[in-house]
Structure 1
Amino acid sequence: MSEPLPESIRDEEQLEELLSEPTDGAVNALKQVQGDIILLGAGGKMGPSLARMVRRASDAAGTSRRVIAVSRFSNEQLLEKFACFGVETISGDLLNEEFVDSLPNVPNVIYMTGAKFGTSGDASLTWAMNVWLPSLVCRKYRESRIAAFSTGNVYPLVPIDSGGSVESDPLEPVGEYANTAVGRERMFTYFCNRHQNPTTLVRLNYSVEMRYGVLVDLAKQVLAGNPIDLSMGFANVIWQADANAMTIQALADASTPPYIVNVAGPEIFSTKEVCERYAELFEQEVTFVGEPAQTALLNNGSQGHQKYGKPRVSLDQLQIWIADWLKRDGTTWSKPTHFEVRDGKF
């Protein structure tokens, strides 16, 4: 960040400014990447800040381009927000083949669409969203550069002292959702190899900001005085702005066959220690149940850090910000991560 980190994040306006502040690396990447950029599924948790960062980084790079966000956009306020960012919007259902075919042809695509929660109740929809839809998009954008979001769930649970899964590790998904995530990657890889269009697979684990994420889930439990389940005893997270910046840089590095990068924070943290730190910040007690398992879903993000630079915001800084945000009754979203799930049933 060009400015020192604030001691406290004042409100959502300042938060969204921070989440969309591009790194020098993101700006340089968009000097290399030519042409318009479309973000598919941009109405979710990360989409608005990533689209805005693409806009800001493009402007800082002196590159004239359209930035287009696509989603159902049931929230009119979100449409107004994108317009204020200088981002165009197209509303529609990406599961509609005719709608996908009607989208503008652009040279750069960031694919953000996916389904995770509710897999156990409607598995067919999850397979459609995560496997069939990528094939539609790949046929539509067979000549475009694509960065597609994936997830750390494609990896198995690994020993907590392993350092986390690396990009070359075999994929051994746990549960039906994770299997569809591998299916999504396989579709992008198949069409990348078939059409020879450069592609990146971004394995994210886990993005966090003040309104949602693993750290927010844990902080809210501590603040409410709930016992903390330690069965998933370790995890890693990354400040959403850093995940956004790494994604933009990874778009520039797209290749054939696909370039694969883990996007994760450098610290593997103990759930117990994180909650004890929150108890200290909230000045209250915390209790625990269960024992930490000796395996967890962990991504090793060192390849991305070496290539794009270490994340700008540390784990402790995130905890300080989140605790302060919650003590001031800052807005949070009802979008729990369910990171504690070990059987893959979401």
Structure 2
Amino acid sequence: MLLSRDNLPETIADVAALDDLLCRPSQALIDDLAGVDGDIMVLGVAGKMGPTLAGLAKAAAPGRRIIGVARFSDASVEDWLERRGIETIHCDLLDEAAVGALPKVRNIVFMAGRKFGAEDDLSLTWAMNAHVPAIVAQAFHTSRIVAFSTGCVYPFVPVDGKGANEATAPDPPGEYAQSCVGRERMFEYFSRKFSTPGRLVRLNYAIDMRYGVLHDIATKVLQGKPIDVSLGHLNFIWQGDAAAQALRCLARCDTPTSPINVSGHEILAVPDLATTFGKLLGREPIFVGKEAPTAWLTNTSQAVTLFGLPVVDTTRLITWTADWVARAMPSFGKPTKYEVRDGRY
């Protein structure tokens, strides 16, 4: 079954149903990948979003070779991928020789990076977020490279505006976000040097029922925990839509590489979201802090022009999340830390 607004479920029964939904392609994705030659390799496939993207690519292009590369410290991720017909390769992306030995496929999706615990070892954060991209950009300079970045590369912008667009100069707080600017600069430098086509996907925030800003807010409402509204506005997107837009960027690469914001087109207030969850969950939200006039927000006009609106809308995401949390369904236990303003993760 293809993904469309007309056939979305009212609720998501369990993890298996969630995985199937996340990996359900739209006709637009199938059509775009049909126009892109070559196989697809996903570097850093074992993160929260990597399996979705690889599974979606395989479902949209079943005759294509899809390869997932990671260290695979969790063997269950490798098993999950292989059951879906995705080849797996073990590789430490910090090992330049190992990266150089990977298959030279036509299309690279780069998803490796370090965020959670970034402050615990800043040298490793910079190595993963800036040095590894330099290694990859040189090893695959004859490929197309769609590289995941983050909306956190932008400065805070007024909450009553439209969000930062791709012309907004990066100027983020904290070394994590600064290292993400380093990631982009490495891909940009080598794209210019070798004329490598690519895109830099500035994503915030992806929503999966097991994690994400909606999961964080709903869980706090249900548990009666205070919700900090100091970073009181945000935008977000269904993880399946985000993965699909990243894959569709393979058909829209620029030389040199260029950024594109990927998120929901709406700027939403945290208190409003918490209040909605309170009604759905039968709880009164508790708020702390004072809303600031600025936040990390992105303007997704370019993505909407290229891809249309996300298939899964905000109302659906909220109702799915409330139902999932109310039933105490599985969680990754990894808060997004969306409320952090100093860049220290």
TM-score by length of 1: 0.97
Distance apart, 1:81 and its partner CA: 1.0
User: How many residues get paired?
Assistant: 342
Distance 2:140 2:334 in 1: 31
Distance 1:212 1:251 in 2: 27
Distance apart, 1:259 and its partner CA: 2.9
Distance 2:56 2:118 in 1: 31
Residues 176-325 of structure 1 aligned to structure 2 (within 5 Å)? 176-325=175-324
Distance 2:202 2:60 in 1: 22
Letter in 2 for 1:193: R
Residue 120 of structure 2 aligns to a residue whose secondary structure is: coil
Alpha carbons 1:25, 1:245 under 8 Å: kept = no
Counterpart of 1:50 in structure 2 is: 53
Residue 119 of structure 2 aligns to a residue whose secondary structure is: coil
Gaps of 5+ in 2: none
Structure 1 stretches of 4+ moved >6 Å = none
Structural RMSD (CA) = 1.0
Letter in 2 for 1:197: T
Residues 1-346 of structure 1 aligned to structure 2 (within 5 Å)? 1-2=3-4, 4-59=7-62, 64-346=63-345
Q: Identical aligned pairs, as a percentage?
A: 46
Distance apart, 1:74 and its partner CA: 1.8
Gaps of 5+ in 1: none
Residue 313 of structure 1 aligns to a residue whose secondary structure is: coil
The Cα offsets for residues 120-158 of structure 1, whole Å up to 9 and x where unpaired, read as 221100110011101110111010000000000110000
Letter in 2 for 1:319: I
Distance 1:131 1:14 in 2: 36
Letter in 2 for 1:260: P
The Cα offsets for residues 193-214 of structure 1, whole Å up to 9 and x where unpaired, read as 1001101110001101100001
Q: Choose 163-172 or 2-11, whichever is displaced more.
A: 2-11
Letter in 1 for 2:60: A
The Cα offsets for residues 239-276 of structure 1, whole Å up to 9 and x where unpaired, read as 00100110011121111111321001011111001000
Residue 47 of structure 2 aligns to a residue whose secondary structure is: coil
TM-score by length of 2: 0.97
Distance 2:25 2:188 in 1: 28
Residue 228 of structure 1 aligns to a residue whose secondary structure is: strand
Distance apart, 1:109 and its partner CA: 0.3
Letter in 2 for 1:207: A
